[in-house]
Amino acid sequence: MKDNNCIFCLIANGNIPSRTVMENEKFRVILDLGPATAGHALVLPKEHFGDLFEIPADWAADAMKTAQEAAALIKEKLQADGLNIVQNNGETAGQTVHHFHMHIIPRYKGDGQNILWKPGKPSDAELDGVLEKIKA
Ligand code: 5GP
Ligand code: ZN
């Protein structure tokens, strides 16, 4: 299903022009308008799924395959030193557009970006408690 009020549905289906890196039957990969680095791209499904919890498993698998293909192309053509795949779900996690997407972020030595986190220092008991909750 497409949502005509969703900007990424409109872009993915070609109703709004975009800088398309590659496209297949189910996905369009476009350049991000606010890139972290040169070549930062977004993998957009042509159907509307809000986030990781809404996208069906077969679409999620195909999204990763498409991301892998686009990442290899971008890394090679732009001579990147590394590459991050980022996928945000929910506003707390930084999602601003509520149409599932994967970020492909090529990395260059000295690019000044920091797509890392501050490591915590939980006790063994705290780690065990978390694991118990997940497995209960
Ligand atoms: P999120 O924060 O939801 O994970 O990522 C949304 C991304 O979409 C941001 O990196 C933002 O720069 C990008 N973006 C938002 N609107 C547009 C648009 O209209 N066109 C393109 N190409 N990128 C967009
Ligand atoms: Zn959408």
Query: How far is the centre of ligand 2, averaged over its atoms, from the C-alpha of 58 (Å)?
Result: 18
Average pLDDT value for residue range 59-83:
98
Q: Is the pLDDT of residue 33 over 90?
A: yes
Residue list, CB under 5 A from ion ligand 2: 3, 6, 8-9, 48, 99
Query: What structural domains and CATH numbers belong to the chain?
Result: 7-135 (3.30.428.10)
**CA distances to 31, 33, 85 from 42, in Å:** 6, 10, 10
Q: Is the pLDDT of residue 9 over 90?
A: yes
Q: What is the pLDDT of residue 3?
A: 86
pTM of the model: 0.96
Q: Is the pLDDT of residue 67 over 90?
A: yes
What distance in Å separates the CA atoms of residue 94 and residue 37, rounded to the nearest whole number? 18
Query: How far is the centre of ligand 1, averaged over its atoms, from the C-alpha of 33 (Å)?
Result: 6
Task: For residue 78, give both structure tokens.
Answer: 């732009």
DSSP string of 17-74, one letter each residue: ---EEEE-SSEEEEE-SS-SSTT-EEEEESS---STTTS-HHHHHHHHHHHHHHHHHH
Average pLDDT value for residue range 15-27:
98
CB-ligand 1 contact for 92 (6 Å cutoff): no
Average pLDDT value for residue range 84-91:
98
pLDDT-based confidence at residue 104 (cuts at 50, 70, 90): very high
